[in-house]
A and B are shown apart, each in its own frame.
Chain A
Amino acid sequence: MKQYLVSALIAALAAASALAQTADELLAKVDANVSYGSISYSARMEITIGGETRYKTMDAVGQGSTKAFAEFTNPEDMGTRFLKLDKNLWIYFPKEQDTVKISGHLLKEGMMGSDVSYEDSLESSDFPAKYSAALKGEEEVEGRRCYLVELSAKIPTAAYDRRLLWIDAERYLSLKQEMYAKSGKLLKVSRVLEVSRIGERWFPSRSEYVSKLRNNTKTVFAMTKIELDPPIDSRQFSMSSLTK
């Protein structure tokens, strides 16, 4: 009997290990699909609050997961620029010719009134470094077969304590995400609405974000003119480029 129990325990541990490995492999595949050396794109952000919709447009470039630069092009915010360098974020306001560093306590606020927080925009896609992953099974999202992966934060600086990812079983993209606080409260839900084929990769080009901390709001982020790994002058990611 004792022998049977030990064998069962070993088998269970082996199975758990295999599942964990599979979840890590899945994350690695997702990462390979959506990570880039550099990126440039234009975007339109549609922020819906109640029945009211406001839009913002921008041109953006990024290098790896630590450097990004965006300039808003809609009339109300024309010339407003963002620079992200690692964990630091600055905003340049053209009318005031003023550069302001965003304080840490404001990073959880919605960026430019959207459901995407400054922290979301700063987050690198390097999930394996911040979360331990577990495969929870398979589910369908929008008619597509997905692996359900649960991520649990293993470092205190991770943006969310727990995340659920629905990963497309064929294209290795996270089609849906739920982000949770330490208390277990659901904070945010994101869904991919459109996927584009760029070279050999599948890339999420239109996504919806819903902050559960706000009432009746959502933000649709649509990317166009996406270029992956274009040459970008590294001087673009500097304080001086904010005022150029």
Chain B
Amino acid sequence: MKRCAMLIAALSALSITWAQEASSLGAGGSLSSEPFASWAEARQGGSTAGWSYGSSTTLGLELRARGEKARAEASFEAAVLTGTAAGEAWAVAGSSLARRDELLLPMYTASAAAPETLVAARVRSLYVKYDAPWASVLAGRQVINYGRGVLWNPADIFTELDLSGLSPVRRGSDALRLLVPLGQTEGLDLVAVPASAPADGRYALRGSGVIGSLDGAAIAAHDGAKKAWLLGADFKTDLELGVVGDAVYEIPDAGGGELRAVAGLDYSFGFLVVALEYYYNGGGALADPFFPGRHNGYASLSLGATELASISAVAIVDLEAGTGSLLLLASLNLAQNADLELFLKGSRVTGCDGYAASSGMGIVVKF
């Protein structure tokens, strides 16, 4: 943790130095507000049901400095969460699914267990990049973003998927990275995500390239925390419909092995775009605590009613447990820089064997 803070402080100082030399500076961001109402029912230990309310107001800020050979980028996010949103974030922070990159500050607490108002802050990205003629070096918090799947990317051993919002967000990793282009579309990518003890870090080598209409990559990695080697591959190809595949085989130092793999398709019928994915998680909760089921499915239907309005439906299901969520979302572009979103989300959750639903609206203003 201390090392991480030092790394970020050093990167910030470096960013400022480079930014002063840079030929262009830019800033932007967004402000979104999302009030909602929730209904939840728990059947375990006697049936209980009830309504609750919450809201999430998020400010995102992005800073960029670009020069001929060096670049620095930073993006920060701060959110004020109230009611149910605060309670849920607080509960996640106290569980094994806690986000390692998030700082939560309770502002008002009626009871120690569930704060009424919470400020959540995180550094989404903070990195510098230097481009030498033969390679690029990136250092700092960045979204590594391997894999080709729309939702699941088992071959991306670095990136954590966050589904708490209306659309999936991939979280950044504090990494040192060397990118070596070998041609127009081919390249090598070496990544190190250090830990206090070097042996506990994660290290990977990935090679990628394009053959015809097939984008493919192969990865070999060692995860020091899990004490395991990982071998993986991913591809996307175009057979008029898009086809993706993404798999990783984990080989623990202690022996054995487990596979996690994704197969997906996407196609469009006029203005309707369909994406389907199947995720096999051979390692269960230990391999992927966010999707512990062995067989998982994802389906997305998106209809562009006009260029300013769209409707989509997204289902994520644990096919064995029969749990999951369904999100219905309508988006309307109100102005050059403003969007309105209306949503209805239903879910069936394990543990309390109950159902939950929430509905609300979001307004996003970009600047």
Are B240 and A237 interface neighbours, CB within 8 A?
no
Question: Within 8 Å of chain B (Cβ to Cβ): is A145?
Answer: no
Are A97 and B145 interface neighbours, CB within 8 A?
yes
Binds A, one of B80-88, B179-187, B354-362: B179-187
In the assembled complex, which residues on chain A have CB atoms less than 8 Å from the CB atom of B148?
A: 101
Which of A98, A103, A104, A113 sits near B307, CB closer than 8 Å? A113
Which of B125, B145, B241, B367 sits near A98, CB closer than 8 Å? B145
In the assembled complex, which residues on chain A have CB atoms less than 8 Å from the CB atom of B142?
A: 97
Question: Within 8 Å of chain B (Cβ to Cβ): is A239?
Answer: yes
Which of B129, B144, B179, B238 sits near A103, CB closer than 8 Å? B238
Minimum CB–CB distance for B263 against chain A, Å: 15
| Given known A75-B28, A75-B337, A96-B143, contact A240–B307 (CB-CB < 8 A) | no
- Residue from B71, B73, B242 having most chain A Cβ neighbours under 10 A: B242
Docked CA distance A27–B22 (Å)? 46
Minimum CB–CB distance for B174 against chain A, Å: 14
Which of A49, A76, A103 sits near B242, CB closer than 8 Å? A103
Are B143 and A97 interface neighbours, CB within 8 A?
yes
Mark out the residues of chain B between 148 and 193 whose CB falls within 8 Å of any chain A CB in the assembled complex.
148, 170, 179, 181, 183-185, 187
Are A106 and B273 interface neighbours, CB within 8 A?
yes
Which of B26, B71, B145, B240 sits near A244, CB closer than 8 Å? B71
Docked CA distance A3–B227 (Å)? 93
What 1/0 flags go to B278-320 for Cβ under 8 Å of A?
0000000000000000000000000010111000000000000
Question: Within 8 Å of chain B (Cβ to Cβ): is A238?
Answer: yes
A-B CB pair tally, cutoff 8 Å:
98
Docked CA distance A243–B238 (Å)? 23
Docked CA distance A85–B211 (Å)? 12
Docked CA distance A239–B273 (Å)? 26
Minimum CB–CB distance for B264 against chain A, Å: 11
In the assembled complex, which residues on chain B have CB atoms less than 8 Å from the CB atom of A95?
A: 62, 75
Are B187 and A239 interface neighbours, CB within 8 A?
yes
| Given known A104-B242, A215-B306, contact A244–B131 (CB-CB < 8 A) | yes
Are B266 and A103 interface neighbours, CB within 8 A?
yes
Question: Within 8 Å of chain A (Cβ to Cβ): is B215?
Answer: yes
Are A104 and B181 interface neighbours, CB within 8 A?
no
Question: Within 8 Å of chain B (Cβ to Cβ): is A52?
Answer: yes
In the assembled complex, which residues on chain A have CB atoms less than 8 Å from the CB atom of B136?
A: 240, 243-244
What 1/0 flags go to A57-79 for Cβ under 8 Å of B?
00000000000000000011011
Question: Within 8 Å of chain B (Cβ to Cβ): is A154?
Answer: no
Question: Within 8 Å of chain A (Cβ to Cβ): is B336?
Answer: yes
| Given known A239-B185, A244-B71, contact A106–B268 (CB-CB < 8 A) | yes
How many residues in B have their beta carbons less than 8 Å from beta carbons of A?
A: 46
Mark out the residues of chain B between 101 and 142 whose CB falls within 8 Å of any chain A CB in the assembled complex.
125, 129, 131, 136, 142
Are B210 and A88 interface neighbours, CB within 8 A?
yes
Which of B131, B144, B238 sits near A104, CB closer than 8 Å? B238
In the assembled complex, which residues on chain A have CB atoms less than 8 Å from the CB atom of B242?
A: 101, 103-106
| Given known A238-B185, A239-B187, A240-B179, contact A104–B143 (CB-CB < 8 A) | no
In the assembled complex, which residues on chain B have CB atoms less than 8 Å from the CB atom of A101?
A: 148, 215, 236, 238, 242
Minimum CB–CB distance for A104 against chain B, Å: 5
Are B336 and A76 interface neighbours, CB within 8 A?
yes
Docked CA distance A34–B210 (Å)? 31
Question: Within 8 Å of chain A (Cβ to Cβ): is B53?
Answer: no
In the assembled complex, which residues on chain A have CB atoms less than 8 Å from the CB atom of B366?
A: 75-76
Question: Within 8 Å of chain B (Cβ to Cβ): is A217?
Answer: yes
Docked CA distance A54–B308 (Å)? 10
Minimum CB–CB distance for A216 against chain B, Å: 9
- Which A-chain residue is minimally distant from B208 (CB atoms)? A239
Question: Within 8 Å of chain B (Cβ to Cβ): is A128?
Answer: no
Minimum CB–CB distance for A77 against chain B, Å: 9
Question: Within 8 Å of chain B (Cβ to Cβ): is A210?
Answer: no
Question: Within 8 Å of chain A (Cβ to Cβ): is B333?
Answer: yes
Question: Within 8 Å of chain A (Cβ to Cβ): is B48?
Answer: no
Are B215 and A96 interface neighbours, CB within 8 A?
no
9 interchain pairs, CB-CB under 8 A? A54-B308, A97-B142, A101-B242, A105-B241, A214-B307, A235-B181, A238-B184, A239-B208, A240-B181
Binding site for A on B (CB under 8 A): 26, 28, 62, 64, 71, 73, 75, 125, 129, 131, 136, 142-145, 148, 170, 179, 181, 183-185, 187, 208, 210, 213, 215, 236, 238-242, 266-268, 273, 304, 306-308, 333, 336-337, 366-367
Binding site for B on A (CB under 8 A): 47, 49-50, 52, 54-55, 75-76, 78-79, 85, 87-88, 94-99, 101, 103-106, 109-110, 113, 214-215, 217, 235, 237-240, 243-244
Which 4 A-B pairs have CB atoms at the shortest separation, nearest pair first?
A103-B242, A240-B181, A97-B143, A113-B307
